[in-house]
Amino acid sequence: MEGNTMPLYIKDCTLIAMATGKRAQNLRELREYLRTISTNSIYYHFWGGLLRPRFDDPEYHNDFAIWSAHSIYNKPLAERLAVVDPVAFSSMEALRTEILGLIEESLDETEYPVWAKRDDQFEFIQHQIVVFDTGRWVDRPEQLTEILPELSRGSIFFHFIDARRRNENGLDDFQNWLGHFGPPFQGMCQAISSIDPYFSNLHKIRDALITAVQTHQSQGAIE
């Protein structure tokens, strides 16, 4: 298959945030909106923070946990939400069910729900992904060592994060492409698959990808 393998065309992307008009001022309202909000919005509130500047406590990796901690001062719930890894769920619907379950538990434990200030409500956001063609591509695995250090955060997001919901097998674009080059690159694919896509940031993910490729290059995967 090596001779017929298509190049890996490098894309860049950004997420355009769009208001849904739905705002929650307390945990009960959050629960009610969360029951019917689009999975597009749930995706944004878990993954969108990777692409936008974030000045909140880095302890919390999704918007639901951040709001719980800083707007309604529910630290126990924030801590439970903070450890929810969206990668562990087969779909956004399964992730929705998990979040709702945690909120229900918290409501059972709370006699008087705290109300957020009017200007600090949880605003449900949906998004549109906009993809750009960088005009760059690689057609041999050894070229990854040259291009990876130059990839933007948007390119890392598109090929390593968003690819998982685009590709039928749930893998990132790097693993899917390297898989066409056969057994010599299985170790490299395994190293890439071990990179944490969620409890990290895009700069660290890029560094981990570089390490995975360089390590297996030095071990002879790339000649």
pLDDT at 55: 53
Q: What's the pLDDT score for residue 20?
A: 97
> Where is the domain boundary, 126, 157, 180?
126
Give SS3 for 196: coil
151 and 98 in a common domain: no
Same domain, 20 and 116: yes
Q: What is the pLDDT of residues 156-212, one digit of tens each?
A: 999 999 999 999 999 999 999 999 999 999 999 999 999 999 998 999 999 999 999
Give the range of the structural domain holding residue 168, as residue numbers without chain letter.
140-218
User: Structure pTM?
Assistant: 0.91
- Examine the domain organization and report whether 21 and 94 are in the same domain: yes
Domain-located, residue 134: no
Verify that 100 and 149 share a domain, yes or no: no
Q: Do 48 and 17 contact (CB within 8 A), yes or no?
A: yes
Residues 6+ apart with CB under 8 A from 192: 172, 174, 175, 178, 209, 212
